[in-house]
Amino acid sequence: METIVLFPFADYWWVYGAFTLLVLVILGLDLGVFHRKAHAVGLTEAATWSVVWISLGAAVGVALWWYAGTALADPGRAAALAALGETPSQAANRIGLEYAAGYLVEKALAVDNVFVWVMIFSYFAVPAQYQHRILFYGILGAIVFRALFIGAGAILLQYQWIVWLAGGFLILTGLKLAVVGEPKLDPERNPVVRLLRRLLPVTPHLEGQHFLVRRDGVLMATPLLIVLVLVEVSDIIFAVDSVPAIFAITDEPLLVFTSNICAILGLRAMYFLLAGVMGRFHLLKYGLAVILVFVGLKMLGEVVPGFALLLDENGKFPIVWSLAIIGGILGTSVLASLAFPARRP
């Protein structure tokens, strides 16, 4: 199976740079203007921001689709695509659909992030007015770590045995998610938290929205800093699943980067929108498990008996099918959760 990267970083670094600059400007406006004062985020505000972030993600997808159609129409690029049996318009449409599928997968897998955040904030009794600030810096750190993971993945996944290893890992993760109960939270045994406590003394109480304070000339961490560290650690753990999952959908690092970042930008609004009703979607974890198994099988591709029969002439699983299957699984698990509520103990 021959594949080419249509938008290599060496030639399109400026697209990465422009997108990163756009994200930083939006985050600066978010914290410096719209959320300058700490306050509890209500459902109306969360719903409004959810629409804003989803609209931004859709706009980026449309922009990539349009740009792909323009850039790939170049005679040299068109000839390279023709050798693979694809026209520029077909490649542009595929780019748009792969971005949409990657965005949907990341949004779906991010539900686990929201669930863990609920537990962390509950464990430390973090006041509602400080949660947005913590998640803002958590998302900022997540963008940095995702960029590093995606860069490493773009290099490592060029080797077939790494692809098979990543596919097997996704399948095992999906099976584990389906059979293991809700994750337990024990911050005191977390090695990162224990290291932080050794490096810095921790104040016994919150100090407003500050992460660090100085008492009698001694720099001290506040419980909010511990919460922020746990939020960052949880995202790194979930990135181990989500980044390979998106690489199973597209070979384009640019699409992995943009769809992943656009999806996690809306995680704060998703948290404030869903935190109070997460218990109603008790079957969602099974849907996420099936999605992980499915993208793992996609990654294994030709080596899975029977699955190779579903690949097209270019050795790819049709992206339209992928998008429909992922959306169908996610929608079915949500509707089933609402139709068959969990029994109260």
pLDDT in tens, the chain (345 residues): 445 677 888 888 898 889 989 888 888 887 767 666 766 777 788 888 889 999 999 999 999 999 988 888 888 778 877 877 778 888 889 899 999 999 998 888 887 778 788 888 888 888 888 888 888 888 888 888 888 888 888 888 777 778 788 888 888 888 887 887 555 666 777 787 788 888 888 888 888 888 888 888 888 888 888 889 888 888 888 788 788 888 888 888 999 999 999 998 888 888 888 776 766 777 888 888 888 888 888 877 755 656 656 666 656 677 888 888 888 988 898 898 888 887 765
Query: Which residue intervals of the chain are DSSP H helices?
Result: 9-29, 43-71, 75-83, 88-123, 128-156, 160-179, 191-199, 223-247, 253-265, 267-274, 284-300, 319-339
In which residue are the tokens 């999906």 written? Answer: 174
Q: Environment class of residue 301 by beta-carbon count within 10 Å: exposed (0-12), middle (13-18) or buried (19+)?
A: buried
- Rounded to whole angstroms, how far apart are CA atoms 99 and 219? 45
- Rounded to whole angstroms, how far apart are CA atoms 46 and 44? 5
- Cβ proximity of 271 and 134 under 8 Å: no
How far separated are the first and last CA of the chain, in Å rounded? 53
pLDDT of amino acid 66? 93
- Return the sign of the alpha-carbon dihedral for residues 120, 123, 125, 128: positive
pLDDT of amino acid 62? 95
DSSP 214: E
pLDDT of amino acid 305? 59
Residue 118, phi then psi, degrees to nearest 5: -55, -45
- Rounded to whole angstroms, what are the CA distances from 158 to 57, 147, 163? 27, 17, 8
pLDDT of amino acid 1? 41
pTM assigned to the model:
0.83
- Rounded to whole angstroms, how far apart are CA atoms 114 and 315? 36
DSSP 202: B
pLDDT of amino acid 65? 93
